Amino acid sequence: MKNLTTPISDEDINGLKVGDQITISGTIYTGRDAALPQLVELIENDEVPFDLKGSAIMHTAFSDAGIAPTTSSKVEIESSIPVLSKNGVKIHIGKGRLSDESVNSLDENNSIFVITPPVAALLTSKVLEKKCVLFENEGMEAMYELKVKEIPGIVAVQGKKRI
């Protein structure tokens, strides 16, 4: 088990390979269908109110029921991966299979895709604090900043290799 803490460095990413079991602690952001396209727009307008460098984004909504990954290959989510990776996001957390284009963009930007068990109770128990940081009008699909301890995952894409 490899333990990572945000912000994630290039050296952290370079030390991983497909199939590695990891935990992620520190600050992660949430986003899915409603939030991620809006975040891309903020990036394009240089209006993101926090630093994405070395960050991790989980493809999820956050409700009182907790968190669990959504399918990362949804158009609204997967289309954000190249832009987010280019702008410093090192870890994308979700589920499902990514396109060759997304795998290439991860490789080009030294970022990875991590799958995590879709077990809401387990993942929610790892959240220490939550704060809505963007798109509050989207309700549970707003973007949240989470303080987490040891979110589990498995590296599914690193370089051009994938599970």
**Residue 123 DSSP label:** H
Tell me the C-alpha distance between 141 and 100, whole Å: 27
pLDDT value, residue 63: 83
Do 144 and 132 touch, CB atoms closer than 8 A?
A: yes
pLDDT value, residue 43: 98
Q: Which residues contact 132 (CB under 8 A, 6 or more apart)?
A: 142, 143, 144
pLDDT value, residue 114: 96
Please state, in angstroms and as integers, the Cα–Cα distance from residue 94 to each residue in 12, 46, 54, 58, 137, following that order.
19, 26, 17, 6, 23
88 by Cβ neighbours in 10 Å (0-12 / 13-18 / 19+) ranks as middle
Polymer length in residues for the chain? 163
pLDDT of the chain, 163 residues: tens digit per residue: 999 999 999 999 999 999 999 999 999 999 999 999 999 999 999 999 999 999 999 999 988 778 888 999 999 999 999 999 999 999 999 999 999 999 999 999 999 999 987 688 889 999 999 999 999 999 999 999 999 999 999 999 999 888 8
77 by Cβ neighbours in 10 Å (0-12 / 13-18 / 19+) ranks as buried
pTM, entire model: 0.89
pLDDT value, residue 101: 95
